[in-house]
Each structure stands twice: as structure tokens, then as C-alpha cells.
Structure 1
Amino acid sequence: MSGSRITRVLGAGLAALLAAAGLAAPAAAEGAKPVRTAVSATDAAADTCALKPKPAGKVLQGYWENWDGAANGVHPPFGWAPIDDPRFAAHGYNVINAAFPVIRSDGTVLWEDGMDSTVRVATPAEMCRAKAAGATILMSIGGATAGIDLNSTAVADRFVDTIVPILKKYNFDGIDIDIETGLVGSGSIATLSTSQANLIRIIDGVLARMPAGFGLTMAPETAYVTGGSVVYGSIWGAYLPVIKKYADNGRLWWLNMQYYNGSMYGCAGDSYSAGTVAGFVAQTDCLNKGLVIQGTTIKVPYDKQVPGLPAQPGAGGGHLAPSAVAQAWNHYKGALKGLMTWSANWDGSKGWTFGDNVKALQGR
């Protein structure tokens, strides 16, 4: 996932310099830099809210950055904003992926202010307000720099033990699996590798301890999915047995494969550059038809596909212009569940053109 935690390290230093100089950080787009208000008795009473089910209609799913992407110079002027900032909903974002928790080497999950440079997490009350305004909110696990040792069952179990209380306290509606390191296949689609087995152990552990209807999405890079059409082994196709398990048993809400930062693949090992409508169509159709690996078919129908695209130039390799996004979306005549983007904050930094375009395409 682009915009990883690596880019935050400049944030703390810049913030300190600004403070020393008596200067304010850059203002957010469409108004002053958002700040939290004091917690009132009403806020305290609203710290708990009901789990939201899988959205019935079309979705625009955006990653919410818990760090300040303006202060670190990545995408000014829109940096950190409260998760209940009304601009997200106004520009079409009805599913929010909160990115990312810190994962310690022993599997301990952290979700707290200051856990990394410039990080501020949403409060339970802010989560409830965002949900009341229409958002479904998932916690995104992983990203480019937040890896987890998938070769250890002890780490997997510690991860589950520490993330479940966080998911409950903060009123999350689901989890998004965005693990981009440490997952490899065994070379045989019928035999799980240790890392695949432990990822399933994590997902099963979380789902078993959360209420019925708790959501599950996945956002793998293309190499981990349709890349398996080229060769199955190592990272190539490594998500496929995991996707198949939860697509087949009905627990997967949808798949958010990242159509960026790498080649796109069809079912026959054909490849396309990121940022092309042809590549978008080829791998979307491949998953709907069913990708056959060593006699095993992995099928993700259109209504369980929410392809991921960069929100703006610079957010990820393979940005699609709004007209190309429209061409790709309209090709399916409403069959796709929605679109995902990295990230909502990136979109806000460039005038919300991605969200506004997709919202209009979805007729919302």
C-alpha cells in the first residue's frame, strides 16, 4: 500500500520546527486544519455503538490515514483529519479503512495516539459519529511497513488476543487484510504453507471472537492473486487459498485487489501495465470467471469485487484519469460492488476528484 508509515518520519521533525517557530501546520483543504473538541458527557455516552452489517448498496472504500500526510510533506494541504470529518461522506466515502495499527515483533497490536510519528487514532465517540453519518469502518491490518511474523503460531495468537479488545472498544465493523510481507505459497495450491495457515489462524481467531456479521475484506497486491496465473509459489498467488476459503464460505465481504504498483494479470498469464483499462478488465474478468491453479478454481464474482485504484497522481503507480475510471466502471454496467482507493486523505489533498467521480458513477 502506498503512503506507508515510512513517509511519516519527517512529520515529527517538521511539526517540532513549526512549533519552535510559532507557526501553524498547513491548513487542510476546504477549511482550517481539523482539531478535536473537548469530550462532553454526550460524547462519553456515545462511546459504544452497534456493529454495522455489510453495506447493501454500492461502496466507495477509502483508506483513512491515522498520521499527518501534510506535515510530512507527502500530500499537503490535506493531512490528518478526524475519522468523522464530514468531508469524507460528502465526497462519497461510505466505507472507511482505518490504517494502520502498529504490530510489535511478538504480535502485540497497538492502536493509540503516538504509537508512531504524528499518529492520532479515532476515539470511540468519533467512530460512532462517523458510523451514524453513514460510514462502515474497518481496521486495516498491514500495509507496506507493518508486517507480522506469519511463521509463528505464538505471534498469530498474540495478535488475535490483542487486536480483538481494540476492535470491540473502538466499534469497528470489520477487518481489512492488507498484509504485504511474509506471506508465501508452498508451491502446491492444495497444501497450505506455514504463513498461509497462520494468516487463516488469525482471521478465524478474530472472526470467532467478534459478533456475527463482523466484516472481512482483503486488499492484496496483484502478484499475490492473479500473479498466480504466471506461476504459483513464493508470493505469486499466495493469497489465493486464503481468498478461496472465505469467498467460498461466505465470510468475505469483498476483495480489494490493488490495481496499482505492479503489473496486472489475466487468467492466461497475460500481463498489462497498471493504470490501463485493459488490465482492469482482464483481471476483473479473470476473477469472476475463476482462476484455475493446479486444478483448483478460485472465483470471486463481480459483486464481491471492489478493485483498488490510486486516488490521485502520486498516491500509487498506475493512476487512472477520471475518464478512464468511468470507462472501467461503466464496462460492468453496475455489476461491481464498488471501488477502493488509496487514500481518502490523498483524494482530499487534490480536490476530491476521485471520490466525486465515483460517487456520481454510482448514482449516489
Structure 2
Amino acid sequence: MKSITVLACALALASTFGCQAKTEPSPAATQVGVTPGHSHALPRHALVGYLHNFDNGQGVLPVSQVDDSWDVIVLAFADDMGEGKVAFNPDPALDRAQLIADIAAKRARGRIVVLSFGGELGTVTLNTQRDEDNFVRTTAEAINTFGLDGIDIDLEKIAGVTHDAPVVPHLISAVKRLHDMYPNLYVSMAPEHPYVQGGFVSMEGIWGAYLPLIDGLRAELDLLHVQLYNNGGLPTPYRAEKYPGGSVDMMVGSAKMLIEGFPLAGGKGRFEGLRADQVALALPSGLRAAGNGYATPADINRAFDCLTTASNCDEVTPAQPHPTFRGVMTWSINWDVTDNRAFSAPVGAHLRAASTR
């Protein structure tokens, strides 16, 4: 593993947080399979799913029972232990040693397994430099102990991500430090759409609050899958009314904004688009998986085709086809299993077929 470079130090100094002493991750608890923090490359089109680390009444699903249609398995969630410290505490129904072995086996088969911070009730404490140092150290410990590929940022309302909140610059700095320790670290984000596309209508409070985080981590970010559920319709530059949740136009419009860019409210500039391969759709796996925003697998596949080939579109169309558009994320693998793979079977098959074109 590499320690912090001169360039990283310069970036840290420029952000006023200072360059820290060299931080080397401790040896992994297991060295089976792929080295911790060094993920495989994503497939051309990927299916991403969150795996509950808690029993929501459907039981806890071991990693070994996650079928191979899933390219990325996101463990949900890490725990905030205070003062920047985080930990992954497996559900009591899971055997810790078996979980580590199962993760190693999945990674040996080319799958990516990452740890998510946040969720509806999840937080991280990142208010000071000491918090940031603790976050970096304990995240590295989790990566090494469980043999993970990387991290996912899914901080929501309770985590206090707002404009000018200290968590944003400290998280940017922390992820850059972790990425320097693990040069192939997988990094993804799953913000709710008010935090991202919401910057089109307001740049106050939570609205657009993830945009500085995304901009600060463009070089490190593997995948952004903005949640298109639990927040109603999506405001876009493409018409005066919001596009309703679950519609093809909402899905296409959301990705078009992320790839092609959009103006920020109040004349505060413009969000410059990401590469198409850094963007994925994010929908609930079934009607019971979220409060609203469900889209049928057929419409998800149509939206994907619209984005990649500019065919099967409704009202909103991309400025040009984006054939490298990455894929689809869902909450969650557990709900999909409960629903007899009604999401992953058709959507996964569609993504795999598109990967061969």
C-alpha cells in the first residue's frame, strides 16, 4: 500500500486541513483473494445492490447467498462510533469469520464488495481534524479486516450534509487520503436527488449540498447513483413541471443532468457533467422496498436504452447516446430476493446483453 504522496500533501495543505503523518493500513485479517482496497474494474454495464446488515423482518442474507447477477454488493451500513470513528459490526445472525471468507470468495469471482456509510438513520462525525484522522484510520481497519474493495457514501438528512457543513470538506479530504493509501479504492455515492439535482432549484440547506462533495472527488469517484425514490418528482431544466417518480423521463432526465451538466439556482454557476461511465440509475427493487419512486423493470430497461442508444425514449432524450453509461443500482438485494428476483433477473439480463454489444 502507498502512503501519502507529495501531491496529496499539497492538496491537503491547500484545503487548510494540513498534511498528516504517513498512515499505513494494518495487515489484513485475511489475505485470501484480492488485496483489500484494490477492486476489480467495473463491467461495462453494472448491476449494483445494497445488502442489509440488519433484519427488517425478512431475515439476514449471507453474502454467499447473493447470486452472481450482482456486480457490486454494498454492505449497509457502517456504524458511527463517535469522534470520527466508524466500524462495521456484522448482524448477530452472521458469523464474522464466515462473512470475511464469503467476501473473499465473491471478490475472487470478480465481484466488488464495499461498505456504505449512512442510510436513513446513519451518520458520521466529521467536524474536526481529529475526527477526520479517526475516520481514515478506522475505515482502513474495516477495509483490511473484512477484505473490502472500497466505500460508499450514502449520508442522508440525519447526517447533517448541508452547504458549509464541516462534514463535506473533511469527507473530501478523508476519501482522498484513503484513495492514496489504496490507489484502486472503489468509491461510490448514493445521495437522494434533492442533494444533487435539487441544486437546480435551490443552493441552500440540503438542496444541492452534495455537489461540492461530488466536485471535490471527481478524480476518485467510480460511480454516482442518485436515489430516485422517497423524495417525489424530479425538477429538471427540461420542462416546468417535475417529472413523476418511476417515469422513464425522470430516469433519463436525472442522468442527463449528471452527464451533460445543469445550471445552479441563484446564478451560482453550473454543475459540469461527469463521465457517463461514472453514472448509474438508482431505483427501488420493488414496491415494498421504498415509500415511492418504484419503476417497472421494463421502464428501467427502456430508460437505460434511451441513455445508451437514444432509442426507446419518451419526452426527454440525451444530447447524444452515452454508450458507456454504467448501469443500475437498487435498494435492495434482500427485497429482491423476497420478491423472487423480479428486479435483478430482467434488469441484470438486460445489462449483461448490452455489455456484449
Q: Cα distance 1:160–1:339, how it changes in 2: closer, same or farther (>3 A)?
A: same
From 275, 296, 301, give the equivalent of 1:326: 301
1:104 counterpart SS class: strand
Counterparts of 1:1-364 in structure 2, within 5 Å, are 47=32, 49-50=34-35, 51-69=38-56, 73=57, 76=58, 79-85=59-65, 87-89=66-68, 92-114=69-91, 123-180=99-156, 181-186=159-164, 193-209=165-181, 211-247=182-218, 250-262=219-231, 263-267=233-237, 271-293=242-264, 294-316=268-290, 317-332=292-307, 333=309, 334-364=323-353
Q: Structure 2 length as normaliser, TM-score?
A: 0.78
Whether the 8 Å CA contact 2:289–2:332 is kept in 1: the answer is: yes
* CA distance in structure 2 between the partners assigned to 1:45 and 1:264 by the alignment: 44
Whether the 8 Å CA contact 1:107–1:149 is kept in 2: the answer is: yes
Q: Cα distance 1:224–1:123, how it changes in 2: closer, same or farther (>3 A)?
A: same
* CA distance in structure 1 between the partners assigned to 2:82 and 2:94 by the alignment: 19
Percent of aligned positions with the same letter in both sequences? 28
* CA distance in structure 2 between the partners assigned to 1:94 and 1:282 by the alignment: 25
Which residue identity lines up with residue 226 of structure 1 in the other structure?
Q
* CA distance in structure 2 between the partners assigned to 1:290 and 1:207 by the alignment: 26
**Cα shift at 1:46:** 6.0
Q: Cα distance 1:303–1:46, how it changes in 2: closer, same or farther (>3 A)?
A: closer
Cα-to-partner distance string for 1:64-95 (whole Å, 9 max, x where unaligned):
112223xxx2xx3xx3122122x421xx1111
1:129 counterpart SS class: helix
* CA distance in structure 2 between the partners assigned to 1:149 and 1:363 by the alignment: 39
Cα-to-partner distance string for 1:295-341 (whole Å, 9 max, x where unaligned):
24331232211111000111112111122112212212344201000
**Cα shift at 1:343:** 0.5
1:145 counterpart SS class: coil
Q: Structure 1 length as normaliser, TM-score?
A: 0.76
**Cα shift at 1:48:** 5.4
**Structure 1 residue runs of 4 or more that deviate by more than 6 Å after TM superposition:** none
* CA distance in structure 2 between the partners assigned to 1:267 and 1:244 by the alignment: 20
- Structure 2 unaligned residues grouped into runs of 5+: 1-28, 310-322
Whether the 8 Å CA contact 1:66–1:120 is kept in 2: the answer is: no
* CA distance in structure 2 between the partners assigned to 1:102 and 1:326 by the alignment: 34
- Which residue does 1:15 correspond to in 2? none
Cα-to-partner distance string for 1:277-296 (whole Å, 9 max, x where unaligned):
11111121111111233224
* CA distance in structure 2 between the partners assigned to 1:134 and 1:119 by the alignment: 23
Which residue identity lines up with residue 261 of structure 1 in the other structure?
N
- Structure 1 unaligned residues grouped into runs of 5+: 1-43, 187-192
* CA distance in structure 2 between the partners assigned to 1:341 and 1:152 by the alignment: 33
Which residue identity lines up with residue 341 of structure 2 in the other structure?
W
Cα-to-partner distance string for 1:102-152 (whole Å, 9 max, x where unaligned):
1122222122345xx756656322111111233111111111111123333
1:88 counterpart SS class: coil
* CA distance in structure 2 between the partners assigned to 1:49 and 1:307 by the alignment: 28
2:142 counterpart SS class: helix
Cα-to-partner distance string for 1:165-223 (whole Å, 9 max, x where unaligned):
1102211111111111211114xxxxxx42321221221232232x2111111110001
* CA distance in structure 1 between the partners assigned to 2:32 and 2:53 by the alignment: 19
1:185 counterpart SS class: coil
Whether the 8 Å CA contact 1:311–1:341 is kept in 2: the answer is: yes
1:176 counterpart SS class: strand
Which residue identity lines up with residue 88 of structure 1 in the other structure?
D
* CA distance in structure 1 between the partners assigned to 2:172 and 2:86 by the alignment: 17
Whether the 8 Å CA contact 1:62–1:97 is kept in 2: the answer is: yes
Cα-to-partner distance string for 1:259-281 (whole Å, 9 max, x where unaligned):
11113232467522221211111
Q: How many residues align?
A: 300
* CA distance in structure 2 between the partners assigned to 1:350 and 1:253 by the alignment: 29
Which residue identity lines up with residue 177 of structure 2 in the other structure?
G
- Which residue does 1:189 correspond to in 2? none
Which residue identity lines up with residue 55 of structure 1 in the other structure?
L
